[in-house]
Amino acid sequence: MNFIPNRTLTPCQFLGKDLPSMLVAMAVFSVSCTPEKGIKQPTPSLTELSFTVEAAPEWTALFKRSSGWFGGDGIFSIPLNGVDSAASQADGLTMILFSDSLIGEIGKDDSDAPFAIINNSVALLEGTEPIDTAVSFHWAKNDENAPTPLFLPSTPNSNPGEYYWLGDGFVNQERGNDIYLFGYRITTTDAEVFNFKEVGNTLIVLPAGSKPPFESQRQLDTPFYMDGTPENTGSFGAGILVNTEAAGAKRPDGYVYIYGVKGTKKEVMVARVIPKDIEEFDRWEFWDGKLWQAAMLRAAPIADRASNELSITPLSDGRYAMVFQTDAIGAFVGLRLSLSPEGPFGPIIPVWDTTPDVSGGEQRISYNAKAHPHLSRAGELLISYNINSFDFFAEIAVEPDFYRPRFVRLKFRR
């Protein structure tokens, strides 16, 4: 495992240098973007975070499988009791969302065994421990009993051939505990690399208590997709913060915050709405850098160099931690700090070097890091990131189970 050396280093300096890696069991960080020594930073700081970080092999192993579901990306986690904070879900159920998923059988000598690729699936986890018998994986099936996605575009704006990749979701306790999750309508293009394009943004509603294959789901076209130049194209649903008392928020204000990402700079935007009004799209507000206002196109960037999926987590000291993959598919899991859900967010604090996970193949990438607060122990933050390859099918032939999430555990130091 590659870690950052145990010394004080500015995130700005770190991200600009090729520092040697150290094989250690744990790394301790105290990072700051303030070059001057001896100057006490304001408390709480947006530039410093004291923590240790280590691999979480038991969580990584939970998704290393050889039968049924054996690969996927995405991995948003939704506590079905609606409370998204550490140690809040010990006996509850978690729904885990995946986008492109691999279904089939693999073994030591049958890497050529047939498998299906479907565009989304889910897992259900009982409790908060990575126990193999506590997790089950779910997808739909067609008339020939072949695997199919759980969610297929069926809104008025949908077109044949489109499919869903999934964004974040939450249990809406102000609307009867229905589950709301974002679906990105995707179409395939003829591009040689990244041969896909988002064409629309959807809210998928799962009635409370419904189970896979979610036959009673509702789908709502939303206006929250920005179509334009590469610098301006974006969508909302990349991450959700439910900042309500019922959700266990530390400083509740009654809003659910929905984060979006746009452009080649991977700029982060934020919207908010009262949970009961989530289907009233004209009641959504967007942060323009100074005020909350109604025009989506006036949403201002609150951070950049992020990834298409991310998380925002309230910390016990009053700060908010944004976790993401630096530069979308960069080698480092990054973290930024803020004093409010809408920012401003401080500089990137490097958390974890994913280089060992991508070194197994020449074209492997790591992407879409995010935290899972309700699956975390008190004083910790469980973080996942995905592994994929630009030469996907060749990699699968060699290592059929490489396409799956990896996990690390961040422990806050007092």
pLDDT score of 186 more than 80: yes
Mean pLDDT across the chain, nearest whole number?
90
Range of the domain at 221: 2-412
Average pLDDT over residues 270-294: 98
Length of the chain: 414
Domain CATH for 204? 2.115.10
Nearest CA to 384 out of 359, 405, 354 is that of 405
Query: H/E/C letters for each residue in 91-117?
Result: CCEEEEEEEEEEEEECCCCCCCCCEEE
Bridge pairing between strands 93-105 and 121-126: antiparallel
Per DSSP, the three-state class of 373 is helix
User: Can you tell me the mean pLDDT for 385-403?
Assistant: 94
Looking at residue 195, its pLDDT comes to 82
pTM for the full predicted model: 0.89
Long-range contacts of 217-222 (CB under 8 A, 24+ apart): 217/151, 219/151, 219/153, 219/154, 219/155, 219/183, 220/155, 220/279, 221/155, 221/156, 221/157, 222/281
pLDDT for position 40: 57
Q: What is the pLDDT of residue 42?
A: 57
Cα gap 372→370, rounded to integer Å: 7
pLDDT surpasses 80 at 400: yes
Q: How many domains does the chain have?
A: 1
Share of the chain above pLDDT 90, in %: 80
How does residue 15 score in pLDDT terms, banded at 50, 70 and 90? very low
Mean pLDDT across 264-273: 98
What's the average model confidence in pLDDT over 169-175? 98
The whole-number pLDDT of residue 373 equals 95
Alpha-carbon distances, residue 314 vs 46, 173, 290 (angstroms): 13, 19, 21
Rounded to 5 degrees, φ, ψ at 299 are -60, 130
Instruction: Calculate mean pLDDT across residues 268-284.
Output: 98
pLDDT at 353: 98
pLDDT tens digit string along 206-219? Answer: 999 999 999 999 99
Q: How would you class 190 by CB atoms within 10 Å of its CB: exposed for 0-12, middle for 13-18, buried for 19 or more?
A: exposed
pLDDT, tens digit (0-9, with 9 covering 90-100), for 24-49: 333 444 444 444 555 555 568 999 99
pLDDT digits (tens, 9 = 90+) for 314-352: 999 999 999 999 999 999 999 999 999 999 999 999 999
pLDDT at 307 over 80: yes
